[in-house]
Structure 1
Amino acid sequence: MMIDIGLIRHSWLLVAPVAEKVTMHFYGRLFSEYPQVREMFPPAMDVQRDRLLKALTQVVLSLENGEPLDDYLGQLARDHRKYGVRPEHYPALGHCLVAAMRANAHGAWLPAYDEAWMNAYRYVAEVMIQAAEQDAVHAPPSWIGTVVSHEMRTRDIAVINVEPDQPYPFRAGQYATLQTGQWPKVWRSYSIANAPRHDNRLSFHVRAVPGGWVSTALVRHTQPGDIVLIGPPRGTFSLNDARTPHLVFLAGGTGLAPLKALVEESAWSPERPSIDLFHGVRHSSEAYDMHDLRRLRAQHKRLRIIQAVSDEPEHWPRHTAVDALEYHRVIPDGDVYVCGSPEMVRHTTARLLAMGVRGERVHSEFSGEAPSFVPS
C-alpha cells in the first residue's frame, strides 16, 4: 500500500486553521451515519470532543516514523478494546474524517487527498485490528479493580491502591486509564506508582484538579471497597533505554509516580544504578510522599532524594526540580528522566539541553492525558 505523506501533510495545512469546524462536522456525520457508535462516547462531549480528531490526524501525520509508530498503534488498539471498538468501526471513522476535511477545505480539496488519507487510514486500521485480535486471546478488554486503600496525603492529593481481579502485566513506568462508577465511559490516564508486585496491586497518585471529573471522584468520593475499571497498561517510559550507571530523575508534583516505580525496579537490579531524584513542588505541604521515599532510600542504598520548593516565600532557596539540580551541582552525565505537567517537561528539557545533555539521553513523560481514538 502506497502512502503519500507529502500529499497528506499538504492537505492537512488546508484544514488545520479550521480544526474546530472539522471536529464538529466529523462528529455530526459520524453520529448521524453510524448512530450505533454513539454509545461508545460519554454523554457530555464538550470537554474532550477534539481529542479523537487530534489523535486520528496526528497518527496519520506520523506514519513515516515506522516501527515506533506501529508499537504505539498496538498499544492504542489494546487500550481501545475497553470501549468496545470492533473492526467494522474503523472504516466509519476514516470515512467521516476525510469527509469532514473535504467539506471544510473551501473547495481546495483534491481527489488525490482522499486517496492518500484513506490509504494511510487503512494501514492504521490494519495494524490496530491485528493487535487487538492478538490481545483478545490472552487479556480482557479491561480489569475490574477493587480499591483496597485510599489515603489523603494533602488537601488535593490521594494515594490510592487498587487490586485488579486478574493478573495485570505491566512494566515499571507505564500508566493505566481508570474509570469510576460516578462517570461511566469517561477514562483518565494515571501513572502506576509502583513496580510489578507479587500481590498484583497498583498504586496511583491522584491530584484533584478543578473541573476534573475523574480526578475529583477518585480523590473526594472514593473509599476502600469501591470498584474502578482499569484499562490496559500503556507507555514506553522505562529503564530499558537507560545505558548509564548514574541516572537523574526530575519530577514535578504527581509526576513523581512513574519515577518512584522506576526507583523500585532499579532497587532489585543486580547492577543497580545510582539515582539522584529531584522532586519539585510549589509548596512544602505538597511533598506528599516523603515517608515512602525515605523507605525506598533505605532499600536502594544508591538513591539520593532532594526536595525542591518553588513558590513558598518562607522557603529558601526557592527552586524547581531543575533549579535544584544546578544548585546542588549534580552533573547529569547519564540518562535523565523527566515527568510532570507538559509545561514542566518542556521547560526542564530545554534547560537540560542548554546544559549540554544530549537529546537522546532525556526521557520524558507528561503526567496528564494521553491521546485516544475515542475521547476519554
Structure 2
Amino acid sequence: MSLLKRIKRSVTGSSQTSEKKLAVIRSKNKETLTAFDPQNPPPEISARDVEILKECWKIVQQNVAEVGIITFVGLFETHPEVHDAFMSFRAINTSDLEYNAILRKHALRVMGTVDKCIYRLDNRDKLRELMTELGIRHKNYSVKIEFIELMGPQFISSIKPHLETLWTDEYEGAWENLFKLMCYYMKKGMCSI
C-alpha cells in the first residue's frame, strides 16, 4: 500500500474518500500532507478584500490573455507533473506552449472563471455553485486534488508586474483569500463524487 493511501486510511479510517471524511492532499511543498475537510466552513473574504479584488481586476483585465498564458507556462515550468495532466498539452514542449492556441483558450477560460468569481463575491451562493461544479468537472477529467492549490500562487506572481504600483501585502492577502475560497469549493466538488 502506498504511503499516501496509508496516511489517507489513518486520517479517514478508510482508503475511500467521501464528503463526510477527510480528503488527504499534498501541500505546496510536497513534503507535508494536509487534509481537506469539506465539512469545515469556507474561507472568509472581507469587504475590503472584495474592494481590492475588484479594483485590481479592472487593471488585470487589460492584459488578461497575457496573464493567463504566463500563469500556465509558469505553472507547467514549476510543476511539470501538472503539464502531464493536460491531455491536449502532453505532446507539446513547454517552451512552445506560449504560442499554442489550445493553451490560450484554456488560459482565457480560467481567467473568465476568475472574473466570474470576483463578480460573484456579492452573491456567494453563485460563486459556490460555479466552483463546486468546476471541481466536479475537474474530478471527471482525473485532475489530482493536490493540483488545485497550485494555480493561486502562480496567478498572483503573474499579476504582480501589472499591479506593481499598487501592490502591498494587503493586496496579496486579498488575492490569496480569493484563491483559498475558489479552491475550497473546487475541492468540495471533487470530494462530492
**Do both proteins adopt the same fold according to a TM-score greater than 0.5, normalized to the shorter chain?**
yes
Residue 154 of structure 2: aligned partner: 96
| 1:18 and 2:45 matched | no
* Structure 1 gap ranges (5+): 136-376
Q: Report 1:213-292 matches (<5 A).
A: none
Residue 30 of structure 1: aligned partner: 75
Residue 184 of structure 1: aligned partner: none
Q: d(CA) in 2 for partners of 1:59 and 1:39?
A: 27
Which residue type is aligned with residue 2 of structure 1? I
Q: 1:112 to 1:105 in 2, by over 3 A?
A: same
Residue 2 of structure 1: aligned partner: 45
Residue 122 of structure 2: aligned partner: 64
Deviation at 1:72, TM superposition (A): 2.4
Residue 77 of structure 1: aligned partner: 135
Q: d(CA) in 2 for partners of 1:131 and 1:15?
A: 28
Q: d(CA) in 2 for partners of 1:56 and 1:34?
A: 21
Residue 350 of structure 1: aligned partner: none
Residue 84 of structure 2: aligned partner: 39
- Mean Cα displacement is larger for which, 77-86 or 51-60? 51-60
Q: d(CA) in 2 for partners of 1:106 and 1:20?
A: 18
Deviation at 1:52, TM superposition (A): 1.8
When normalised by structure 2's length, the TM-score is 0.62
Q: d(CA) in 1 for partners of 2:60 and 2:130?
A: 25
Q: 1:71 to 1:19 in 2, by over 3 A?
A: closer
Aligned to 1:104, what secondary structure does the other structure show? helix
Q: Report 1:92-171 matches (<5 A).
A: 92-135=150-193
| Structure with more of its chain in helix, by fraction | 2
- Residue by residue, what CA displacement relative to the aligned partner does 1:161-190 show, whole Å, maximum 9, x if unpaired? xxxxxxxxxxxxxxxxxxxxxxxxxxxxxx
Q: d(CA) in 2 for partners of 1:71 and 1:108?
A: 31
- Residue by residue, what CA displacement relative to the aligned partner does 1:213-259 show, whole Å, maximum 9, x if unpaired? xxxxxxxxxxxxxxxxxxxxxxxxxxxxxxxxxxxxxxxxxxxxxxx
Q: d(CA) in 1 for partners of 2:67 and 2:53?
A: 16
Which residue type is aligned with residue 152 of structure 2? G
Which residue type is aligned with residue 10 of structure 1? E
Q: d(CA) in 2 for partners of 1:16 and 1:134?
A: 32
Percent identity between the aligned chains? 19
Q: Is 2:120–2:126's contact at 8 Å kept on the other side of the alignment?
A: no
Deviation at 1:97, TM superposition (A): 0.8
**Bigger Rg, which one:** 1
Pairwise CA RMSD? 1.9
Deviation at 1:102, TM superposition (A): 0.7
Q: d(CA) in 2 for partners of 1:102 and 1:61?
A: 20
- Residue by residue, what CA displacement relative to the aligned partner does 1:140-160 show, whole Å, maximum 9, x if unpaired? xxxxxxxxxxxxxxxxxxxxx
Structure with greater contact order relative to length (CA < 8 Å, sep ≥ 6): 2
Q: Report 1:170-209 matches (<5 A).
A: none
- Residue by residue, what CA displacement relative to the aligned partner does 1:61-113 show, whole Å, maximum 9, x if unpaired? 32221213212222221111122222321221011111111122244322211
Which residue type is aligned with residue 167 of structure 2? W
When normalised by structure 1's length, the TM-score is 0.34
Q: Is 2:76–2:83's contact at 8 Å kept on the other side of the alignment?
A: yes
Residue 41 of structure 2: aligned partner: none
* Structure 2 gap ranges (5+): 1-43, 93-99
Q: Is 1:60–1:121's contact at 8 Å kept on the other side of the alignment?
A: no
Runs of 4+ in 1 over 4 A off after TM superposition: none
Q: 1:86 to 1:63 in 2, by over 3 A?
A: farther
Q: Is 1:5–1:61's contact at 8 Å kept on the other side of the alignment?
A: no
Q: d(CA) in 2 for partners of 1:63 and 1:85?
A: 26
Q: d(CA) in 1 for partners of 2:144 and 2:115?
A: 20
